[in-house]
Each structure stands twice: as C-alpha cells, then as structure tokens.
C-alpha cells in the first residue's frame, strides 16, 4: 500500500504535535508494510534529507509566510500526489485540508486527521483563520475518511459538519524509571525539585502565565524549567525577559537523553495552554510518571487528571496555588509507576498505527 502524507512541516526532530505524531505513526506503518512518503517543507528539512528510517521524504518549497506557508505547500503537495498516484493521501491538520476537494477531483483517496481547531490559536490573523476554518469545513465534508485525535474533536466534526470520524488518539513513548541526572544538573536543576513545561513558544501555550505564577511563589525551593526553541518574535522576547526576571531556566530545544532526563527528574509538569488538540507533551510527562497541572480546557479534561490538577485557563493566582500545592506533595513512587502504566495501556503508538491501517484498508476495500 502506497501512502502519501501531507500537512507535516518536517521529520525527524521538527517540533510540533503533528510532526511528532507523523514521526511515530509512519515509522510504524512502514514497518507494517506500507510504502510511506511524507511531503515536507523546505525550510524545515535539510536539502540532502531523503529518508527518515524506512519513510521516504519529498521536499517541496514552502514560503515562510504565516497563513500562506501551509496553503501554498499543500497545493504543491497535492499536485505532486496527482503524479505519484498513491493508494492513500493522508492529510494532517485543518489548514492543509483545504486542498481536499482538489485531491478528490484528481481522483485521490483522501484521509484527513483533525488535530484540533487551529483557528482558535491566539497567533493567527483574519486571513489565516479563514484558511483554517475553510480547511476544516471542506476537509471534513469531502474527505473519504476522517480521523479525530480526541473525543472532543470527534464531537465537533459531527455537530459542525455532520460527519462521523474514527477516534484514534495520539500515542506516547513512555519513559522508564528515573535514571541519570547529569544533564539536568548542567541546567542548574535539582532532581525532583523543579516544575517543567515542554513545548513550542507560542502565545496559546501561555508560558507568560506560568512564569508570572512561578514568580509569585514565596520562598520556593523549586525552579521552573521551560524546554523548547525560542525564536526572535515579540512573544519569544517577552518570554526571555520574564524568565530572566523570575529566575526561570530556559533550556532551549532538547531531544533524546537530555529531554528524557528532564522529564524523568522533574517534580511536576505544567501545561497552562488556552488551546490544544491532544497534547503529546502532557502525555509524555504522564508516561514518565510525573504528576501534572493543566488548564481546564476540553483537551486536558479528556485526559482525566485528578480534579485538583486543573485550574481555569488564564487564572494566574489559581495556577500559583496549584504550584504551591504541588510543591508540598511528598514524592510517591507507586503513583509514578501507576501513571506510566496507565499511559502505556491507553496511548499506545502500535495500536494507533494498527487502527490507522484499518482505516486505509477499509477505504481500499470500499
């Protein structure tokens, strides 16, 4: 079965939930016998990149213009698909899904995975929001099959567009028991005594709320570690300045052993986002056994953390109260093991791959 993938900026190692999803999913589908080719964007993948393991990469030009990048790249990608003639075209996210009608006119079988209503993100202007809303509408109505990564999104698809979707959540690679901490200490962090957030530095992740809440803590013995690559935009500059004033640690982008150690040795994970689909970073933290604090948005509530883990989005005093409470909780190794096992059972990438392959086979059989 030949599968062509659209809507991914790049793999491997490109930050973003869709990119992590694609890297994990398609390596497994390739191992299951699919011939997978992922169409990636030139700014995010080196010129000589041709493969990611058994997955082929096709670099196509994309402009670095917010709102236009995904649109232009997706049009070029679907024209490439018309020549390549795959058995399945799998489009990820509602922005790239705007090319679904064109793909269908070209005789292609299209699956669209809805990763969340991206038009709700804080950073988009009017044109980008129009593209995203249009992509959701036509992607859901004209695709041959739809996948939702959460029950909240499946309900949205049914209520807003009158279509059913296969519910296939994100998966997670669970961390093992706490091991080394040498790389953590290089950042000036003490194992078990820091709050952790991992993610892109964009307004909807609300790092500024977290920094402000942390700064308000009196005589805290814990530090705050923010993991992710910082750009040079206005939001990134504000985060740098606020982190410096609060004494928070900016680790930069981390992968591999360093990221594993940061998860394994944290005291708690914090995600104050105003918008998420199904946050892989939060699942990774739970998979490492960490207790978590999260804003009470639908995507987080669906994960069913303990009620005391949630706080109203944007409520900095409530977030500070949750941080103080978490700091006072004694470590519980049995609870960490239970979290890891729950995530391993509930969010398994191998099962995600098998369910996705079943969607493909259903389309080819029909």
Domains of the chain (ranges, CATH numbers): 2-168 (3.40.50.2000), 182-346 (3.40.50.2000)
Highest mean pLDDT among 30-39, 112-121, 341-350: 30-39
Asked if the model's pLDDT at residue 91 lies above 70, the reply is yes
- pLDDT score of 139: 98
CB 194 within 8 A of CB 224: yes
User: How confident is the model over 181-191, as a mean pLDDT?
Assistant: 94
Query: pTM for the whole thing?
Result: 0.87
Which is nearest to 47 in space by CA: 60, 38, 56?
60
- CA angle at residue 288 from 258 to 113, to 5 degrees? 95
- pLDDT score of 244: 96
Asked if the model's pLDDT at residue 263 lies above 90, the reply is yes
User: How confident is the model over 142-161, as a mean pLDDT?
Assistant: 97
Q: Confidence band (pLDDT; 50, 70, 90) for 7?
A: very high
Contacts with 84 (C-beta within 8 Å, 6 or more apart), sequence order? 2, 4, 37
Query: Using one digit for the tens of pLDDT, what is the confidence trace for 307-359?
Result: 999 999 999 999 999 999 999 998 889 999 999 999 999 999 999 999 999 99
- pLDDT score of 66: 73
Q: Confidence band (pLDDT; 50, 70, 90) for 175?
A: low
Query: Using one digit for the tens of pLDDT, what is the confidence trace for 161-174?
Result: 999 999 999 999 87
CA separation for the pair 165, 75 (Å, rounded): 24
Query: Using one digit for the tens of pLDDT, what is the confidence trace for 192-227?
Result: 999 999 999 999 999 999 999 999 998 899 999 999
Strands 145-148, 166-167: parallel, antiparallel or unpaired by DSSP?
A: parallel
Which is nearest to 285 in space by CA: 307, 259, 311?
259
% of the chain with per-residue pLDDT over 70: 98
Work out the mean pLDDT of the chain and round it to a whole number.
94
User: How confident is the model over 139-155, as a mean pLDDT?
Assistant: 97
- pLDDT score of 239: 96
- pLDDT score of 315: 98
CA separation for the pair 66, 55 (Å, rounded): 28
């Amino acid at each position: 079965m030949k599968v062509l993938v659209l809507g991914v900026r790049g793999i491997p190692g490109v930050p973003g939930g869709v990119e992590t999803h694609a890297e994990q999913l398609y390596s497994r589908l390739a191992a299951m016998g699919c011939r997978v080719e992922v169409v990636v964007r030139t700014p995010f993948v080196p010129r000589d990149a041709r493969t990611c393991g058994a997955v082929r990469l096709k670099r196509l030009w994309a402009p670095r213009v917010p709102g236009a990048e995904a649109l232009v790249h997706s049009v070029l990608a679907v024209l490439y698909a018309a020549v390549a003639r795959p058995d399945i075209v799998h489009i990820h996210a509602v922005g790239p899904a705007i090319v679904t009608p064109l793909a269908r006119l070209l005789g292609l079988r299209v699956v669209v995975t809805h990763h969340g209503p991206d038009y709700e993100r804080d950073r988009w202007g009017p044109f980008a929001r129009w593209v995203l809303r249009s992509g959701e509408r036509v992607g859901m109505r004209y695709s041959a099959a739809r996948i939702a990564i959460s029950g909240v999104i499946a309900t949205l698809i049914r209520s807003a567009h009158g279509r059913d979707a296969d519910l296939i959540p994100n998966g997670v690679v669970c961390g093992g028991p706490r091991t080394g901490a040498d790389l953590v200490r290089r950042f000036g962090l003490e194992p078990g005594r820091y709050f952790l957030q991992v993610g892109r530095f964009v307004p909807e992740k609300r790092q500024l709320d977290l920094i402000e809440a942390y700064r308000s803590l009196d005589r805290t013995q814990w530090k705050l570690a923010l993991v992710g690559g910082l750009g040079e935009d206005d939001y990134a500059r504000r985060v740098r300045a606020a982190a410096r004033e609060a004494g928070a640690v900016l680790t930069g982008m981390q992968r591999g052993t360093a990221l594993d150690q940061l998860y394994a040795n944290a005291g708690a994970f914090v995600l104050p986002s105003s918008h998420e689909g199904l946050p892989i970073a939060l699942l990774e933290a739970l998979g490492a056994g960490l207790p978590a604090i999260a804003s009470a948005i639908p995507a987080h509530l669906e994960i069913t953390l303990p009620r005391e883990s949630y706080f109203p989005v944007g409520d900095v005093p409530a977030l500070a109260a949750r941080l103080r409470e978490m700091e006072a909780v004694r470590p519980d190794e049995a609870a960490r093991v239970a979290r890891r096992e729950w995530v391993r059972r509930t969010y398994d990438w191998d099962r995600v791959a098998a369910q996705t392959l079943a969607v493909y086979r259903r389309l080819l059989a029909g």
